[in-house]
Amino acid sequence: MLYYFRRYPVSLVIVAIIFYLSFFTPPKTNMEEIPYIDKVVHICMYGGLCLILWIEYLRSHKTIHWSHVVWGGIIAPIIMSGCIELMQAYCTDTRSGDWLDFLANSTGAGLAALVGYYILRPLIWRKF
């Protein structure tokens, strides 16, 4: 377990922030008037998490172990988002689970995987 705290400290902090943001009651703002702003926020949250996972992974590995990347950097965040949506639906009175939020989270993770492999990987490995 200590391995993950050493190798992925920023990612673990972002996971904690996502859990917090997923269960607190947000204040009312004018941003809610923008169509689908909630979905954009979900794409950014999970895309950002997965990009940080890619950065921390590539920084400490010389080769890509695809089973680690797929399970830890794509599937685990998607499963986490599904669990959060279910907990919002069944364990809270102030939040509701939404399948479109889950789709937006999955889209963010998928986009981050593409950016991580095709953009971040060459940049980070060239630098290190």
Question: Is 104 exposed, middle or buried, given 0-12, 13-18 or 19+ CB atoms closer than 10 A?
Answer: buried
pLDDT at 50: 98
Side chain identity at residue 115, one-letter code: V
Contact 92, 23 (CB under 8 A): yes
Q: How far apart are CA 77 and CA 101, in angstroms?
A: 13
pLDDT at 32: 81
- Enumerate residues 6+ apart whose C-beta is below 8 A from 101: 38, 39, 42, 81, 85
Side chain identity at residue 11, one-letter code: S
Q: pLDDT of 3-21, one tens digit each?
A: 889 999 999 999 999 999 9
Mean pLDDT of the residues in the chain = 94
pLDDT at 30: 86
Q: Where are the domains of the chain?
A: 36-127
- Enumerate residues 6+ apart whose C-beta is below 8 A from 95: 22, 23, 25, 88, 89
Q: What is the mean pLDDT of residues 19-34?
A: 88
pLDDT at 4: 86
Q: pLDDT of 86-121, one tens digit each?
A: 999 999 988 888 999 999 999 999 999 999 999 999
